[in-house]
Amino acid sequence: MTETHCPYCALQCATTLHPADRPGAVSVQPRQFPTNRGGLCRKGWTAAEVLTVPDRLTSPLVRNEAGELVATTWDYALDFVADRVRALQAESGNDSIAVFGGGGLTNEKAYALGKFARVALRTKNVDYNGRFCMSSAAAATNRAFGIDRGLPFPLTDVAGAGAVLLVGSNIAETMPPAVAHLAGVREAGGLLVVDPRRTATAQLTEDAEGIHLQATPGTDLALVLALTHVVLQEGLADTAYLADRTDDPDGLFRSTAAWWPERAERVTGVPAATIRRAARVLAAAAPVHGGAGAYILTGRGAEQHSKGTDTVTACINLALALGLPGRLGSGYGCITGQGNGQGGREHGQKADQLPGYRSISDPAARAYVAGVWGVDPDELPGPGKSAVELINALGTPDGPRALFVHGSNLVVSAPRLASVRDRLDALDLLVVADVVPSETALLADVVFPVTQWAEEDGTMTSLEGRVLRRNAALAPPGEVRSDLAIFAGIAQRLGCAASFPTDPAEVFEELRLASAGGIADYSGITWSRLDAGEALFWPVPAEDHAGTPRLFADRFGTPDGRARVIAVDHRPVADDLTAGTPLYLVTGRLLQHYQSGAQTRRVLELAESEPEVFAEIHPRVAASLGIVEGAPLRLRTARGSMVAAARVTTDVRPDTVFVPFHYGGAGAVNELTNDVLDPISRMPEFKACAVEVSAELAVREVPA
């Protein structure tokens, strides 16, 4: 029996693995833990199935002269990659090599990946798929609070609240066990959900007098500005808190004065009366009015926009107006998605960061981390390109000529996929480390088979900033190795003098030292403390420190300790409606699948439940186009087209089409999505673009 945590989302549900009746297999049982309270979702229950899928990668693969991926030895594959890296860098410089990581990697792998890129490869070109997830929330919380931790409080705190405003988060499907924490607020009639769809989460408002604010796609910012307007104009704000704990209380009034509810109704489609009611429910729960507490939580629906940082900033401003951040039982938080989305962005995978959430442009940070790594600070590269910009530069005259991919499936998860495939095709070398032949791995020149969650030790950091132990229950099959072994093997072949340990415990010891004194300080977290059952919230600056479950009680992480009020204003989506593209396309997740679907589409129970892509459309639109349930329809945007089966439902607005993004090949909706970027977070605008919908007529065979 092995105690560990689920490999999927950042809720990190606690599980126990038991030996199964066949070699290399385990069974999964939930166990009690604060985040999941003994529950699991369908993905968690079936997680062990991915360990033994028939097409599990078990030996290194190299593409031969005939264009086929064939099995080879580790020595040959590592030698081949190292030789190509040396040759390319000799021709085009260190930055001709790029690295792309993932938010599912353990803290040890994420840390080692950033070090590998900057010390062994000596390239600035490193980023990761977390840029597609919570980067807008990270940017907004960093500039407002000086610290980015998804939830700066334990998730269990939410259970006692009187109101919760969820903006763009469908947790009932993405992390179902978290819904248990909303039972009290639902019963109190305080659950408020902003979403253009009637999702499973939005439906939770219907039986308990909650409120579903079904806004037009891309208008969350205008809606939140209007909610703040009501709070301020009706005298519901916590003025003493604003004066004591923010830098510019008047800025809130100036930036929201023009967003009266009637104006917001014209933009968002949400009735002015509903906006006023929602603002009053939220305010009544705030501490300033003697309420039980209130929370504002954002998710990808609000963040994956070219104005995502500003939308989250508006949510933070609303929370500040009500005096929520730093108060016990209240606050603002971001619901982190990927399993290690929090830890993955703290220790060096991002283009502009060093371990401990340090800036790579800070001379003091560079000097400290270089000292830990045993290199000259001047040898460390500067900040590189963000994810989409890095992808767009691949194979261009001045861009990277080789790419390492660890823990990401770019040809499904990135926006504007035709361009992504073109850029990958233009590379001289594509190296992918994965557990199954994902869509990206199948394009690679070299594929490294790597360990999965139940086959490796390490640490993960939950959406709350709680550091957890992952424990190995099985030996990996075949010739599978850890990503840590890949970094070490290539670094050694490149003649890198720096150490690259392959023991996760040893890597974690180095990570502790590298993070010491940083914002995300893990230095007081020891392997033994985690093995003893402690799950510690960072920062933990000393071994006798109990951790920091709640941030901001006394001050924010800004130089003067005050939160920054930043004025923001609404603007339309970048690819807005036209006569030829009269509907909004939005994308999202399903209960049965996770991220690009590379794992869950291989689990029979999950795949049979949702086997193929579909498009939700409103009955009014379906009738106007002559489309019936299940009929094929074609979706076209400025970037591409696809065919999906119609699901006719009133759960979407008449101006909205919804398509899940878990499918590859012809079912990949990211063929259509927009890669325009948020100017601050560099988040692409996945969540809204203009689309044309038409009936797809089947081609009939004509008899001879």
Residues 157 and 170 in one domain: yes
Spatial distance between the Cα atoms of 606 and 609, rounded to a whole number of angstroms: 5
Q: Tell me how many domains the chain contains.
A: 4
Residues 191 and 245 in one domain: yes
- Determine what percent of the chain falls in helix, strand and coil, rounding each to the nearest 5: 35, 20, 45
Q: What is the CATH number of the domain that holds 678?
A: 2.40.40.20
Contact 346, 461 (CB under 8 A): yes
Using DSSP's 3-state secondary structure scheme, residue 412 falls into helix
pLDDT at 85 exceeding the cut of 50:
yes
pLDDT at 701 exceeding the cut of 50:
no
Residues 69 and 151 in one domain: no
For the stretch 401-414, pLDDT in tens is 999 999 999 999 99
Residues 299 and 345 in one domain: no
Residues 95 and 155 in one domain: no
Domain membership flag for residue 561: no
Q: Residue 699: is it exposed, middle or buried by C-beta count within 10 angstroms (0-12/13-18/19+)?
A: exposed
How many other β-carbons are positioned within 10 Å of the β-carbon of residue 91? Answer: 10
Residues 616-639, mean pLDDT to the nearest whole number: 97
Residues 513-536, mean pLDDT to the nearest whole number: 95
Domain membership flag for residue 373: yes
Domain membership flag for residue 602: yes
Domain membership flag for residue 563: no
Q: What is the CATH number of the domain that holds 529?
A: 3.40.50.740
Domain membership flag for residue 106: yes
Residues 302 and 226 in one domain: yes
Domain membership flag for residue 703: no
Spatial distance between the Cα atoms of 440 and 434, rounded to a whole number of angstroms: 9
Residues 347 and 473 in one domain: yes
For the stretch 441-489, pLDDT in tens is 999 999 999 999 999 999 999 999 999 999 999 999 999 999 999 999 9
Residues 363 and 401 in one domain: yes
CA atoms within 13 Å, Cβ hemisphere of 565: 23
Cis peptide before 539 (omega within 30 of 0): yes
Tokens of 393: 């530069």
Torsion of CA 174, 223, 208, 294, to 10 degrees: 80
Beta-bridge partner residues of 432: 405, 447
* Structure confidence at residue 376 as a pLDDT band (50, 70, 90): very high
Which letter, b or e, does each residue of 472-509 get, where b requires 16 or more Cβ atoms within 10 Å of its Cβ?
bbbebbeebbbbbbbbbbbbebbebeeebbbebbebbe
- As a three-state string, the secondary structure of 280-344 is HHHHHHCHHHCCCCEEEEECHHHHCCCCHHHHHHHHHHHHHHCCCCCCCCCEEEECCCCCCHHHH
For the stretch 22-40, pLDDT in tens is 777 899 999 999 999 999 9
**Domain end residue (candidates: 270, 300, 334):** 334
pLDDT at 657 exceeding the cut of 90:
yes
Average pLDDT, the chain: 96
pLDDT at 171 exceeding the cut of 70:
yes
pLDDT at residue number 698: 55
For the stretch 202-227, pLDDT in tens is 999 998 899 999 999 999 999 999 99
Residues 190 and 296 in one domain: yes
pLDDT at 702 exceeding the cut of 50:
no
Q: What is the CATH number of the domain that holds 42?
A: 2.20.25.90
Domain membership flag for residue 560: no
Contact 282, 322 (CB under 8 A): yes
For the stretch 106-161, pLDDT in tens is 999 999 999 999 999 999 999 999 999 889 999 999 999 999 999 999 999 999 99
pLDDT at residue number 535: 81
Residues 513-524, mean pLDDT to the nearest whole number: 98
pTM: 0.96
Q: What is the CATH number of the domain that holds 146?
A: 3.40.228.10
pLDDT at residue number 199: 97
Residues 183 and 273 in one domain: yes
pLDDT at residue number 700: 40
Residues 167-190, mean pLDDT to the nearest whole number: 96
* Structure confidence at residue 17 as a pLDDT band (50, 70, 90): very high
pLDDT at residue number 703: 43
pLDDT at residue number 534: 85
Residues 8 and 25 in one domain: yes
Q: Tell me which residue range forms the domain holding 398.
A: 61-132+340-537
**Domain end residue (candidates: 315, 334, 353):** 334
**Domain end residue (candidates: 334, 349, 377):** 334
Residues 209 and 291 in one domain: yes
Nearest to 540 by CA among 458, 462, 466: 466
For the stretch 552-602, pLDDT in tens is 999 999 999 999 999 999 999 999 999 999 999 999 999 999 999 999 999
pLDDT at residue number 424: 98
Domain membership flag for residue 568: no
